[in-house]
């Protein structure tokens, strides 16, 4: 209706012809003539009466259309916009279905106008303001890239990690073998090194590697992820579940990486992750140097002007990947980490312990206080013991001591006593053999005195000086096949060989 007023003004106030008015307003000449005719019939000239609204003007000029419009069937706009979220569904398809059900319904153009007007009544989208150096958004792309192993011919799908700074849109991407926690943490560290600084906030998605408990209000962070953030002095603020607009920056960055980088690599074959990352890095640099049509500057230029001065410096050392494990101290004041045993102060027997495990160290915490630290050891079923952790009188939980173990073993039989004594003597610290000795003595209840004594005799004969070997002998009934050799001197037999892997010919009988 605004153009009707313009037509009347140009015609009556300016004296222009219909042709000039049509050219000036971008209308057809017949349309201009129709507006003037209807205005004449309605008794309207220029200026229009004060207070005449566009709706009133429309009713005066188009009375038939105004009267007929309310009777047209109205689409269910909520259902229309719900259907638009489905893959492949368009507004034109929905209009065709609407006209199929209501032949006298709205035209396509009017249908689209009403749809847009209905969307305007939905809750508005908050425009996010990104301050310099404040946020880094991170996510994995949906697409993967195949990498072929030259030796085996195996084809693996590499995941694509993407990080982007909020203010400058400066983008980083790399390929990792998986989306698991080690690759997730490592990619963060390399991204921060690429940016040359640390933002105040890191905004991830709710993937399991970073968020252990997805929650709309208080998401629970993975302990390692939180530890990494503390090392760099950043805060982790995950996006709300099912709210991609919270991390719209990285959603757009992922789309750019898929279109600008991955699409260009689709015909290339890669035979190592390093080759793939080299190709990605080259194209990422091109992407960051490409001038933006909207801002007139490249992402790198904006990064150097806006984000880079506001980033906090990187720590002196990069974050060393660490896993956390909840465990409990055994009666020998050791905790098991990857089949190796590490000591803690003996007063913590049966207490819960939190272990922080890196490739080089194992740190043990009790109620948030570090109580022990060891170099990481990888020898299975071995012990790492600090002398200060041992009790002076070797007292143990529930009264278990070397003397009690020896006494109970002697009650079972001489071979059991000899096996227990041998195990205790072979350890650097006798307490390290407590688990094995206690396990052997406790086999008395399920198997009985005679069978346990025979099993210990066979274990001594073949040099298998461990709880596992004795239990295996009993479980496979090998103790019943063993015939101890006579000893004329009456002295107790010792182990034939000292090496645990040499069992002797009787083992295979």
pLDDT 10s digits, 369-396: 999 999 999 888 888 888 888 876 544 4
Tell me, yes or no, whether 351 and 499 share the same domain.
no
pLDDT of residue 240: 62
Lookup: tokens for 262: 């991955």
Tell me, yes or no, whether 39 and 90 share the same domain.
no
Tell me, yes or no, whether 270 and 185 share the same domain.
yes
Predicted confidence (pLDDT) per residue in 151-162, tens digit: 888 999 999 999
Average pLDDT over residues 462-478: 90
Tell me, yes or no, whether 493 and 426 share the same domain.
yes
**Number of Cβ within a 10 Å radius of residue 470:** 25
DSSP 237: -
Tell me, yes or no, whether 140 and 113 share the same domain.
no
32-46 in b/e form (b: 16+ CB < 10 A) is beebbeebeeeebee
SS3 335: strand
Lookup: tokens for 274: 């390093």
Q: What are phi and psi of 90, to 5 degrees?
A: -120, 165
pLDDT of residue 66: 46
Tell me, yes or no, whether 291 and 176 share the same domain.
yes
Tell me, yes or no, whether 220 and 273 share the same domain.
yes
Residue 491: pLDDT above 70? no
Q: Which region among 210-219, 296-305, 360-369 has the lowest average model confidence (pLDDT)? A: 210-219
d(CA 405, CA 400): 7
pLDDT of residue 162: 92
Structure confidence at residue 489 as a pLDDT band (50, 70, 90): very low
Average pLDDT over residues 65-91: 69
CA proximity to 134, closest of 43, 254, 234, 1: 234
**Number of Cβ within a 10 Å radius of residue 187:** 24
Residue 125: pLDDT above 70? no
pLDDT of residue 131: 76
Q: Which region among 337-341, 386-390, 436-440 has the lowest average model confidence (pLDDT)? A: 386-390
d(CA 220, CA 409): 50
pLDDT of residue 482: 60
423-450 in b/e form (b: 16+ CB < 10 A) is bbeebebbbbbbbbbbebbebbeebeee
pLDDT of residue 214: 41
Between 13 and 125, residue with greater pLDDT: 13
CA proximity to 307, closest of 471, 171, 141: 171
394 located within any domain:
no
Between 474 and 218, residue with greater pLDDT: 474
Structure confidence at residue 216 as a pLDDT band (50, 70, 90): very low
Mean confidence (pLDDT) of the chain: 81
pLDDT of residue 156: 92
Tell me, yes or no, whether 169 and 294 share the same domain.
yes
Residue 70: pLDDT above 60? no
Between 177 and 489, residue with greater pLDDT: 177
pLDDT of residue 217: 34
Determine contact, residues 156/149, Cβ cutoff 8 Å: yes
Tell me, yes or no, whether 52 and 8 share the same domain.
yes
Structure confidence at residue 492 as a pLDDT band (50, 70, 90): very low
Predicted confidence (pLDDT) per residue in 398-437, tens digit: 456 677 888 889 999 999 999 988 888 887 666 667 778 8
501 located within any domain:
yes
Structure confidence at residue 497 as a pLDDT band (50, 70, 90): very low
Determine contact, residues 238/209, Cβ cutoff 8 Å: no
Average pLDDT over residues 280-305: 85
pLDDT of residue 429: 65
**Domain stop point among 246, 277, 310:** 310
CATH of the domain at 225: 3.30.420.10
pLDDT of residue 37: 85
pLDDT of residue 432: 67
Average pLDDT over residues 172-189: 91
Residue with tokens 């790198």: 300
369 located within any domain:
yes
Q: Which region among 23-37, 180-194, 411-425 has the lowest average model confidence (pLDDT)? A: 23-37
Structure confidence at residue 194 as a pLDDT band (50, 70, 90): very high
DSSP-assigned states of every residue in 83-109: HTTSTT--HHHHHHHHHHH-TTS--HH
Half-sphere exposure (Cβ direction) of 445: Cα atoms closer than 13 Å: 3
Residue 126: pLDDT above 50? no
Residue 39: pLDDT above 50? yes
Between 3 and 107, residue with greater pLDDT: 107
243 located within any domain:
yes
Residue with tokens 């060989």: 497
Residue 498: pLDDT above 70? no
Half-sphere exposure (Cβ direction) of 10: Cα atoms closer than 13 Å: 20
Lookup: tokens for 53: 């609204």
Q: Which region among 270-284, 359-373, 458-472, 491-505 has the lowest average model confidence (pLDDT)? A: 491-505
Range of the domain at 411: 400-508
Between 429 and 188, residue with greater pLDDT: 188
CA proximity to 171, closest of 152, 195, 205: 195
315 located within any domain:
no
94 located within any domain:
yes
128 located within any domain:
no
CA proximity to 406, closest of 391, 388, 394: 394
102 located within any domain:
yes
Average pLDDT over residues 161-177: 90
Tell me, yes or no, whether 62 and 80 share the same domain.
no
Residue 265: pLDDT above 50? yes
pLDDT of residue 215: 39
Is this structure's pTM higher than 0.85?
no
Per DSSP, helices labelled H in 397-447 are: 402-412, 414-426, 434-442, 444-447
Number of domains in the chain: 5
**Exposed/middle/buried for residue 133 (C-beta within 10 Å: 0-12, 13-18, 19+):** buried
Tell me, yes or no, whether 272 and 155 share the same domain.
yes
Predicted confidence (pLDDT) per residue in 224-262, tens digit: 888 888 899 888 888 765 555 555 677 888 888 888 888
Residue with tokens 């990080």: 163
Average pLDDT over residues 93-112: 90
Q: What are phi and psi of 218, to 5 degrees?
A: -135, 80
Tell me, yes or no, whether 163 and 290 share the same domain.
yes
């Amino acid at each position: 209706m605004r153009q009707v007023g313009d037509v009347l003004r140009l015609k009556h106030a300016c004296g222009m012809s219909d042709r000039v008015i049509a050219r000036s307003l971008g209308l057809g000449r017949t349309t201009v003539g129709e507006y003037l005719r209807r205005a004449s019939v309605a008794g309207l000239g220029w200026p229009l009466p004060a207070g005449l609204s566009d709706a009133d003007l429309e009713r005066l000029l188009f009375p038939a259309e105004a009267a007929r419009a309310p009777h047209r069937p109205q689409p269910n706009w909520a259902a229309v916009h719900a259907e638009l979220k489905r893959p492949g569904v368009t507004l034109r398809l929905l209009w065709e279905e609407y006209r199929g059900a209501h032949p006298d319904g709205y035209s396509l153009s009017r249908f689209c106008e009403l749809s847009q007007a209905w969307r305007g009544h939905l809750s508005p989208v908050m425009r996010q303001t990104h301050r310099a150096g404040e946020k880094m958004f991170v996510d994995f792309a949906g697409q993967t890239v195949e990498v072929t192993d030259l030796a085996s011919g195996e084809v693996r799908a590499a995941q694509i990690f993407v990080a982007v700074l909020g203010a400058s849109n400066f983008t980083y991407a790399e390929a990792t073998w998986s989306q698991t926690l080690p690759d997730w943490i490592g990619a963060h560290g390399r991204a921060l090194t690429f940016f040359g600084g640390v933002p105040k906030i890191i905004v991830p998605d709710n993937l399991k590697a970073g968020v252990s408990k997805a929650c709309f209000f208080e998401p629970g962070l993975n302990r390692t992820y939180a530890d990494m953030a503390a090392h760099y002095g950043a805060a982790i603020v995950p996006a709300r579940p099912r709210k991609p607009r919270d991390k719209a920056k990285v959603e757009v960055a992922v789309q750019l990486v898929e279109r600008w980088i991955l699409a260009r690599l689709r015909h290339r074959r890669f035979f190592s992750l390093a080759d793939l990352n080299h190709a990605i890095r080259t194209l990422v640099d091109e992407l960051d140097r490409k001038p933006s049509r909207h801002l007139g500057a490249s992402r790198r230029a904006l990064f150097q002007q806006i984000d880079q001065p506001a980033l906090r410096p990187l720590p002196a050392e990069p974050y060393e990947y660490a896993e956390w494990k909840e465990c409990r101290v055994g009666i020998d004041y050791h905790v098991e980490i990857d089949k190796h045993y590490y000591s803690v102060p003996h007063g913590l027997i049966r207490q819960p312990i939190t272990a922080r495990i890196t490739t080089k160290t194992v740190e043990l915490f009790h109620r948030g206080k570090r109580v022990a630290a060891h170099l990481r050891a990888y020898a299975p079923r071995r012990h790492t013991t600090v002398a200060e952790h041992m009790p002076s009188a070797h007292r143990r939980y529930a009264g278990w001591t070397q003397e009690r173990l020896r006494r109970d073993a002697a009650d079972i039989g001489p071979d059991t006593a000899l096996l227990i004594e041998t195990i205790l003597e072979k350890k650097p610290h006798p307490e390290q053999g407590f688990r094995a000795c206690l396990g052997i003595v406790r086999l008395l209840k399920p198997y009985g005195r005679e069978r346990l004594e025979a099993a210990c005799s066979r274990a001594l004969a073949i040099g298998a000086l461990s709880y596992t070997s004795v239990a295996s002998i009993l479980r496979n009934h090998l103790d019943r096949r063993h015939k101890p050799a006579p000893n004329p001197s009456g002295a107790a037999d010792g182990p034939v060989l000292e090496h645990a892997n040499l069992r002797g010919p009787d083992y295979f009988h």
